[in-house]
Chains A and B, each alone.
Chain A
Amino acid sequence: MILLNDFMIYALICGIAIALSMCPIGCVVLWKRMTFLGDAIAHSATLGVVLGIILSINTTYTVLLVSILFVLTIIYLKKQHTNDTLIAIFSHSFLAIGLLIISVVKYIRIDIMSYLFGDLLMVDLNDIIIISTLTIFILLWLCFRWKLLLSAAINEDMAMVEGINTKAIELEFMLIMAVLISLSIKIVGILLISSMLVIPAATARNLSHTPKQMMLYATVFGVLSVTSGMIISAMFDTPSGPAIVISAVCVFAVSLFATKYRTT
C-alpha cells in the first residue's frame, strides 16, 4: 500500500511533530494578537535563504540567524510603534532585500512552490530528530511558563504588578517562534506555517471555553488535518501542503457549523 512507503511515514511523523508544536504556539499567537507574526518571520526568512546560498553556508543556519535578528529588531523597536506596523515594515523589507539580491545575483534559483509549501515528502531521519526535539522542548516550555504566558496575554500591566517579567516572556516566545519557523520552513513552507499556526487555533476557539481546552483542541485538529491531508495527497497524488491546508479549512468550517447548532 502506498501509505506505507518509508517517505510517507517519515513525512507523516514529521508533519504530526510540527503540528504538535505549531498548534499550541498558534493559540498563543492568537491570544497575543500576533496573527501576522508567523507570516512575517517566514517572509524575512527569504533573506536568510539567499544569504545562505551566496555565502555557501547551510541555509538552515542563515535562516535561523535572520529570523532571530528579525524578532530582536521588532522587540527592540516596539516602544515607539505598535507591533503590527513594525512587523509589516520589517518583514517586507527583509523580503525585498532578499528578492533584490536574487535578481542581481544570477546563479540563485529559488523554487517558489517549495518556498510556499515546502517539501514534506523529502524529509529524512535527521529532520525528524530535529523537529521532534524542538517539539518536546516547546511543549515543556509551554508547561513551565503557562501561568506567566497566560497572565501576560490577558493584561500586561496586571501581570507586571504580579511580579511577572513580561518582557522576558515575550522575548522567549518570539525567539521560540523564530526557531520553530526557521527550522520548519524547509519542510512545510510559508503557507503551511501560517495556516498551521492560525487555522487549528481558530477552529479550537469556536469550540472551547478555557485556554487549556483551546490548546488541546487546536493540537488535535492540527494532527487531524496533517494526517487527512497526507492521506488525500497520497490517494490523489497531489502536493501534500495544499491538501493539509484544505483539510484544516474544512475542519474549521465544520466547527463553525457546530457552534451555530449549539447556540441555537
Chain B
Amino acid sequence: MNDSKQPLIHCHEISYIHGNNKILDNISLEVLSRSIVTIIGPNGGGKTTLLKILLGILKPSTGKIYRKKNTRVGYMPQKIIFNKQLPLTVRNFLFLNYNIDYSNVDVFKIISYTSLTNILDQQVHDISGGELQRLMLAKALLHNPDLMILDEPLQGLDIKGQNDFYLLLEKIRLEQKISMVMVSHDLHTVMRSTNHVICLNKHICCQGLPKTIQKQSYDNLFGLPIDTTLAYYKHHHEDIK
C-alpha cells in the first residue's frame, strides 16, 4: 500500500435528517489506514447512524463522503436477531457470503482464531452471547477487510469476555493491518490502541486521543449532573490488559 496516507474514508460536513429530527449534524472525520477510531456517545446520539453512513447503507442528507477505492469492509452489526423460523447452523451462516473469493482468505485460521471450531454445527439461535460476537467477527473477517466497522462489539460480554474480545481484535488487527471504526458507549472500555476518540451526541462534542478526552467533557456528553451518582474509578480507558 503505497498510498497509505490517503484516508480509507473521509466524511466532509455530513448531516443526516430523519423526518424532522436532525440525527447527525455537521460531522467531519477521517479514517486513516491502520488506525482505530472509536466513537463514543449516549444512546440516541447517532452512533449507529454514522456507522451506517460510513458503510453506505444510509445516504447522508447533506455533505460528502469519500471512500478509497477497492477498500474491503467487514461489518459487525449491533445485536443481530436471528429469526427462529429460519434454521441456520453456524457453518451455514459463515459460508453464506456473497462476493467472497475464498482463495484469498484462510477460512480455517479465522475459525480457529475465533474459537468457533466446536460449534460449527450448532444452530445460530442456540449459541451464547460471546460465541455470537465471535461468530459475527469471523463473518466480517471472511471479507479479508482493510477496514472493520464494529457496532458495540462488546455488548453482552462480561469483563473477561470484553477483555478477551479486545485481545483478539488487537491480534487480528496487527497481523492483518486492518483499520477499525468502532462504537462503544463506554469510554472506560475503549481499546488501548485507539488512535482517535470521537464523542458523538448528534454533533462531535470533542475528539482526540483517549487521554485528552477529559472526564468533564464526558459528563457533559452524557448530560450527567456534576454531582453524579456514578463514581469514577479514575480515568481508566487505557487499562484493558
* Chain B: interface residue total (CB-CB under 8 A): 24
Q: Does A147 contact B87, Cβ atoms closer than 8 Å?
A: no
- The listed residue (A148, A151, A155) touching B77 by CB distance below 8 A is A155
**Size band of the interface chain A makes with B:** 20 to 34
Could you tell me if B75 and A158 are in contact, using CB atoms closer than 8 angstroms? Answer: yes
- For B88, the chain A residues whose CB sits under 8 A away are 154, 210-211
**A154 contacts B96, C-beta separation under 8 Å:** yes
Q: Interface centre among A151, A157, A210, A211, by most B CB within 10 Å?
A: A157
* Residue pair B96, A147 in contact (C-beta under 8 Å): yes
B87 pairs with A208, CB closer than 8 A: yes
Taken residue by residue from 1 to 41, chain B's Cβ proximity to chain A (1 for < 8 Å, 0 otherwise) reads as: 00000000000000000000000000000000000000000
Tell me whether A210 and B92 are in contact (CB under 8 A).
yes
Partner of B97, one of A31, A33, A162, A205: A162
Max count, chain A CB within 10 A of own CB: residue among B55, B75, B96: B96
Interface residues of B in 53-83 (CB under 8 A from A): 55-57, 73, 75, 77, 80, 82-83
Q: Is there an interface contact between A154 and B93, defined as CB atoms closer than 8 Å?
A: yes
Within 8 A of B (CB), among A117-135: none
Interface of B is mostly: loop
Q: Are A150 and B96 in contact (CB under 8 A)?
A: yes
Given A151-B96, A164-B98; A157-B89 close (CB under 8 Å): no
With contacts A148-B98, A155-B77, A163-B98 taken as known, whether A210 is within 8 angstroms of B87 at the C-beta atoms is yes
Which residues 191-247 of A have a CB within 8 angstroms of B?
A: 201-202, 205, 208-211, 213-214
Find chain B residues with CB under 8 A from A214 CB: 86-87
Residue in B75, B80, B98, B123 whose CB lies within 8 Å of A151: B98
Q: Are B55 and A161 in contact (CB under 8 A)?
A: yes
**B118 an interface residue at 8 Å Cβ cutoff?**
no
- Inter-chain contact total with CB atoms closer than 8 Å: 70
- Can you list, as one digit per residue, whether each of A106-146 has a CB less than 8 Å from chain B (1) or not (0)? 00000000000000000000000000000000000000000
Q: Check if A160 is an interface residue, CB within 8 A of chain B.
A: yes
Residue B214, interface by CB 8 Å: no
Tell me, yes or no, whether A30 is within 8 Å of chain B by CB: yes
Complex Cα distance, B83 from A151, in Å, reads: 12
Q: Known interface pairs A147-B98, A163-B99, A209-B89. Does A157 touch B83 (Cβ–Cβ under 8 Å)?
A: no
Who on chain A is nearest to B77 by CB?
Answer: A157
Give the CA-CA distance A33 to B86 in the complex, in Å.
10
Check if B85 is an interface residue, CB within 8 A of chain A.
yes
Instruction: Flag A3-36 by CB within 8 Å of B: 1 or 0 each.
Output: 0000000000000000000000000001101000
Bound-complex Cα distance A31 to B56 (A)? 25
Report the minimal beta-carbon distance from B92 to chain A, rounded to whole angstroms. Answer: 5
Q: Closest residue to B55 on the A side, CB-wise? A: A161
Bound-complex Cα distance A150 to B82 (A): 12
Q: List 5 A-B pairs, minimum CB-CB distance, nearest first.
A: A30-B85, A161-B75, A31-B86, A208-B87, A162-B98
Residue contacts A-B, CB under 8 angstroms, 15 given: A151-B97, A151-B98, A154-B82, A154-B96, A155-B77, A155-B80, A157-B55, A157-B75, A159-B98, A160-B56, A162-B99, A164-B98, A205-B85, A210-B87, A210-B89
Binding site for B on A (CB under 8 A): 30-31, 33, 147-148, 150-151, 153-155, 157-164, 201-202, 205, 208-211, 213-214
Given pairs A33-B83, A161-B73, A210-B89, 14 additional interface contacts (CB within 8 A): A30-B83, A30-B85, A31-B86, A153-B83, A155-B80, A157-B52, A157-B75, A158-B75, A158-B139, A159-B98, A160-B55, A164-B98, A209-B87, A214-B87
